């Protein structure tokens, strides 16, 4: 049995390994970053503000949603709720990573999650289930994705007209297919299936009967709560 402390280790070599793993898929992130940069500049945001938003927020879907609400008078509370709802899936990410995060200090836990996004989280979980250290994938992969997002934003500010609509080229499917491949290839056990099953059912019900976008936060909360219930850690399986 692999010791928890071994799976929770993090060093430069592991971070570089994670960076190299996510570098190829990050090329698609550049396209979406360019689309965001172009859209933001067209709305009248300054170049500095656009780059600051991408660098500090680092959440493509919620950044596009914020642009939809942008205007002469910005509804700050509405923007905050919208961004929170779209990124509520991070609650589920944190819950699924907790068996390994709890082996680290509180400060390090939050630092590790700063760069968490769908792709590097999925890759980290895959490594943990294979009894390999996963935080290198989380941090290194996050750095690769963040770098690509910033490069894309910069390109969009200056040269984004040619790729203002990535859906026209089918590029919007690239990340989804990548994540699906990781999920299918990951470890499957009763606890993992239960967490994802509860999250899926809750999301579908919320999508059908609750206000728009509420399915994101409802599904994440439901799956996250199930993940926090006692009952045996995935790392021991």
Question: Between vectors from CA 172 to CA 171 and to CA 174, what angle results, nearest 5°?
Answer: 65
Q: How many domains does the chain have?
A: 1
Does 203 or 211 have the greater pLDDT score? 203
Answer yes or no: is 71 within a domain.
yes
* Exposed e or buried b per residue across 124-135, where buried means at least 16 C-beta atoms within 10 angstroms of its C-beta: bbbbbbeebbbb
Sign, CA torsion 187/193/199/205: positive
Sign, CA torsion 205/209/213/214: negative
Answer yes or no: is 231 within a domain.
no
Answer yes or no: is 102 within a domain.
yes
Answer yes or no: is 19 within a domain.
yes
The confidence band for 234, taking pLDDT boundaries of 50, 70 and 90, is: very low
Answer yes or no: is 227 within a domain.
no
The confidence band for 173, taking pLDDT boundaries of 50, 70 and 90, is: low
Does 123 or 236 have the greater pLDDT score? 123
Answer yes or no: is 229 within a domain.
no
Q: Is the pLDDT of residue 125 over 80?
A: yes
Answer yes or no: is 218 within a domain.
no
Which residue stretches of 69-210 are H helix? 76-86, 89-101, 106-113, 118-129, 135-159, 174-185, 190-209
Answer yes or no: is 192 within a domain.
no
Q: Which domain holds residue 138?
A: 4-187
| pTM greater than the 0.75 cutoff | no
Find, among 221, 9, 30, the residue nearest to 134 by Cα: 9
For the ranges 23-32, 61-70, 104-113, 142-151, the one whose mean pLDDT is highest: 142-151
């Amino acid at each position: 049995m692999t010791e928890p402390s071994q799976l929770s280790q993090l060093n430069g070599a592991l971070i570089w390994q994670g960076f190299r793993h996510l570098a190829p898929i990050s090329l698609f992130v550049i396209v979406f970053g360019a689309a965001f940069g172009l859209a933001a500049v067209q709305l009248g945001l300054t170049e500095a503000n656009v780059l600051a938003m991408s660098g500090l927020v680092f959440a493509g879907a919620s950044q596009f949603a914020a642009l939809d609400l942008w205007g002469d008078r910005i509804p700050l509370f509405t923007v905050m709720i919208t961004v929170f709802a779209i990124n509520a899936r991070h609650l589920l990410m944190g819950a699924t990573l907790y068996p390994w995060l709890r082996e680290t200090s509180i400060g390090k836990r939050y630092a590790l999650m700063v760069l968490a996004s769908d792709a590097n989280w999925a890759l980290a979980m895959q490594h943990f289930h294979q009894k390999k250290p996963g935080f290198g994938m989380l941090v290194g992969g996050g750095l690769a994705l963040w770098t690509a997002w910033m490069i894309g934003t910069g390109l969009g500010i200056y040269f984004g007209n040619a790729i203002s609509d990535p859906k026209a080229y089918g590029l919007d499917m690239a990340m989804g297919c990548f994540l699906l491949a990781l999920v299918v290839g990951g470890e499957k056990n009763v606890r993992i299936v239960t967490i994802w099953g509860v999250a899926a059912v809750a999301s579908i019900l919320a999508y059908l009967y609750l206000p728009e976008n509420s399915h994101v936060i409802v599904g994440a909360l439901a799956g996250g709560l199930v993940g926090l219930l006692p009952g045996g850690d995935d790392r021991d399986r």
